[in-house]
Structure 1
Amino acid sequence: AADVAGVKIVTGDTKVVHRGAADKLFINTAGVGVIRSGVSISAQNLQPGDAVIVNGYVGDHGAAITVARGYLDLETELKSDTQPLNGLVDVILDVCPEVRAMRDATRGGVATVLNEFAMSSEVGIRLFESSLPVREEVQGVCEILGLDPLYFANEGKLVTVVPGEKAETVLAAMKSHPAGIDAAIVGEVIASPPGILLLETTFGTERIVDMLVGDQLPRIC
């Protein structure tokens, strides 16, 4: 994985465990990166008219883990979407140094990332359900268990917000990279209601997508 991402493993993070449980090997890792000159990526940068883009199908990891844990007696081809994203980020910044915000949609999923963006920038965000890339198997798992793929964890997905006029350029660049082949423009930034994430459903109605309270599924780590 390090070879694919083009990084060197030099150190790591720590874990908090119960007393007496630290009887095995713990590996410590850490990452050091370089910020490009002229790039300012922040959750506080969003402006009305900006476009929201994801780099592919959302919820694959969460659904795959759900099935693997035996919550459902199903046979599916679902696999975790784990993959490095640094190459895709480079591609995005090459064509759009003005990227407003960008974040990986891990624990809490796409909905959590966008809620945090909306609150930090004091703007609204409208998602379009018809544009969200969700596999049928993932949707099926969610419908059976009463879960929402927008909150499912991802391990190879990022959410980026770019100026509206740059959206198609960024989308084309993302689709040229293996980690962004299924990228899609899924929403827009709006002036109000501030701090709120809305979902425009396939029925033409709107509903609020709140911050997740707790976790849909028990944590893995």
Structure 2
Amino acid sequence: MSEPVLRDEQRVLERIEQARRRPPRLRDEVVTSAHGAGGKASAALVEALFVPAFAPAGAPPPLTDAAVLDLPGAQLAFSTDSFVVRPRFFPGGSIGHLAVHGTVNDLAMMGAEPRWLSCAFVIEEGLPVEELRRVATDMGQAAQAAGVQLVTGDTKVVGRGAADGLYVTTAGVGLVRQGVRLAADQVRPGDQVLVSGTLGDHGVAVLLARGDLALEAEVTSDTAPLAELVGRLLDAAPSLRWLRDPTRGGVATVCNELARAAQVAVVLDEAALPLDPVVGGACDLLGIDPLYVANEGKLVAVVGPQDADAALEALQSHPLGARAARIGEVRGDPPGIVVLRTAFGGTRIVDMLVGDPLPRIC
């Protein structure tokens, strides 16, 4: 590559870095579906609206999957999430499974053992009781399988047309393993990036289940509880630095969040990304990059280079991590940027998700 081209590329990176360092601004006058997609619009909504309102003084809190609370002799992880998936039942799961798995996984990403959940239901008048019973049964079975208790809850009923059937909110509490601290500020250049399995399975499964597309393919959601898998990872890799589950916005978005929070570069290897051929084919037909498509039973991990092999072996030893792979590395420059090494030998910048190509997938 010639020197002028390199200089031009460096100037582009510098402009991108300057833009990332500006305080977030919410330019929209109304909320759109993009604000719920987990990408740029979501980040602007949270950082420019909610953070100043909830934490008006001092440094903003870390924007992690769960809050870690210090108590005498213990640390608790606490998280909450809402679920509006459409359709409510899809191959591999339901809104009930997601309501449990989504919250227990957020706790697990902080190194916590999930213990207790609350649940709240907003029910539209006219929802069949039998459908609500199926959702509740799925939640009970998912909680039992995940080793958590549903200990409290609430129900509200709204008029017809006000809630699209059913919305579910869960909150969870877990106990953080002693001595464990998983955070972006632990990440260092040279660290390795791992993913526990194939990308985009949940998002594509839900999209196909809607029946709006003339595509016939069998794709099953990967929704699953990850605490046991995280436990194996913690045992095998003392240098485990950071974990996220790539739900809304996919692997690309969580890697961008890491790069911004740690002020490092995340370099991904396209050839190493595990992808089910059917999911990849569906993404190609729809013009969607699988890096941005949601999972509900996968994790992205950053570990020190000395533990990368052991961490990968630990993941692959568990059924939920059978297709785990090392997909990239952390570098010092350019800070705040995610770069993809393409299969053709080039590179491209992977930005945060823009818009909402797959609305209401969780």
TM-score, structure 1 as length reference: 0.91
Aligned amino acid, residue 184 of structure 1: A
Residue 267 of structure 2 aligns to a residue whose secondary structure is strand
* Higher CA-based Rg: 2
Question: Where does residue 106 of structure 1 map in the other structure?
Answer: 247
Decide whether aligned partners of structure 1 residues 12 and 209 sit closer, same or farther in structure 2, where only a CA change above 3 A counts: farther
Aligned length: 220
> Do the aligned residues in 1 keep the contact of 2:206 with 2:361 (CA within 8 Å)?
no
Q: 2:199 aligns with which of 58, 65, 68?
A: 58
Distance (Å, rounded) in 2 between the aligned partners of 1:95 and 1:120 = 25
Letter in 1 for 2:224: Q
Aligned residues of 1:2 and 1:8 also touching (Cα < 8 A): yes
> In the alignment, which residue of structure 2 is the partner of 1:136?
277
Equivalent residues of 1:199, 1:209 under 8 A apart: yes
User: In the alignment, which residue of structure 2 is the partner of 1:122?
Assistant: 263
Sort the Cα spacing of 1:117 and 1:28 in 2 relative to 1 into closer, same or farther, 3 A: closer
For 2:196 and 2:150, locate their aligned partners in 1 and report how far apart those are by CA, in whole Å.
Answer: 26
Q: Which runs of 5 or more residues in structure 1 are unaligned?
A: none
- For 1:19-73, what per-residue CA distance to the aligned partner results, in whole angstroms no more than 9, with x for missing partners? 9837988765321111112211012221111000010001011111121123432
- After superposition, the C-alpha distances for 1:65-120 in whole angstroms (9 at most, x for unaligned) are 12112343222121101111010011001112321110111011011100000111
1:82 is matched with which residue: 223, 231, 237? Answer: 223
SS at match of 2:240: coil
**Residues 166-202 of structure 1: CA deviation (Å, up to 9, x unaligned):** 0000010111111111110000001111000011011
- Equivalent position SS for 2:219: coil
Residue 209 (str. 1) matches residue 350 (str. 2): yes
In structure 2, do the counterparts of structure 1 residues 76 and 167 end up closer, same or farther at CA, with 3 Å as the change threshold? same
1:33 aligned partner: 174
Higher strand share: 2
Aligned-pair CA distance for 1:12: 5.7
User: By percentage of residues, which structure has more helix?
Assistant: 2
Residues 181-220 of structure 1 aligned to structure 2 (within 5 Å) = 181-220=322-361
Does 1:158 pair with 2:288? no
Q: Counterpart of 1:129 in structure 2: which amino acid? A: E
The answer as to 2:317 corresponding to 1:176 is: yes
User: Is the Cα–Cα contact under 8 Å of residues 237 and 308 in structure 2 kept in the other structure?
Assistant: no
Q: Helix, strand or coil for the counterpart of 1:65?
A: helix
Q: Does the CA contact (< 8 Å) of 1:44 and 1:120 recur in 2?
A: yes
Q: SS at 1:34's partner residue?
A: strand
Structure 2 unmatched ranges of 5 or more? 1-141
Secondary structure of the corresponding residue to residue 243 of structure 2: strand
- Aligned counterparts of 1:65 and 1:26: Cα–Cα separation in 2: 16
- C-alpha distance in structure 1 between counterparts of 2:328 and 2:229, whole Å: 20
SS in 2 for 1:29: strand
The residue type equivalent to 1:117 in the other structure is L
Cα 1:14–1:189 change in 2 (3 A) is: farther
Identical-pair percentage: 57
Q: CA RMSD in A?
A: 2.4
Q: Does 2:163 correspond to 1:11? A: no
2:30 corresponds to = none
State the distance in 2 between where 1:175 and 1:23 align: 39
